Amino acid sequence: GHVRKLLCEATKLGLLRQYKQQGDRITCYYTSFEKVFAIAGLEDIGPIAAVCMDDLSELNILATEIEAQNLQSLSLYQRQREEIKAQEAKGKTQNQTQIIRPSDLLHPCEIPARVLAKGDRFLYCESDFAFYGGSQEGISRRRGISVSTVGRHLSNKYRLESAPVRNHRAGMTPIIKKQLAERLPLLKGMPAKLCREDGLFFAHSDWFKPHCNVYSLNHRLIACKRRRAKISGEIDNESLLFDAGSPEFLDNNDCLYVLPSEELKESIDYLLLKNQILKSKSPRA
User: How confident is the model at residue 122, as a pLDDT?
Assistant: 95
Residues facing 125 on adjacent strands = 115, 182
User: How confident is the model at residue 256, as a pLDDT?
Assistant: 36
- Once rounded to an integer, what is the mean pLDDT over residues 129-155? 93
Contact 67, 47 (CB under 8 A): yes
Contact 169, 161 (CB under 8 A): yes
Other Cβ atoms closer than 10 A to 119: 12
User: How confident is the model at residue 215, as a pLDDT?
Assistant: 95
pLDDT at 273 over 70: no
Strand, coil or helix: 162: coil
Residues facing 18 on adjacent strands = 29
pLDDT at 2 over 70: yes
Distance CA(123)–CA(181), nearest Å, equals 6
pLDDT at 259 over 50: no
pLDDT at 249 over 50: no
As a whole-number percent, the residues of the chain with pLDDT over 90 amount to: 34
Other Cβ atoms closer than 10 A to 146: 11
Distance CA(159)–CA(167), nearest Å, equals 12
User: How confident is the model at residue 188, as a pLDDT?
Assistant: 84
Amino acid of residue 97: T
- Once rounded to an integer, what is the mean pLDDT over residues 190-207? 90
pTM: predicted TM-score of the whole model, two decimal places = 0.70
- Once rounded to an integer, what is the mean pLDDT over residues 132-159? 92
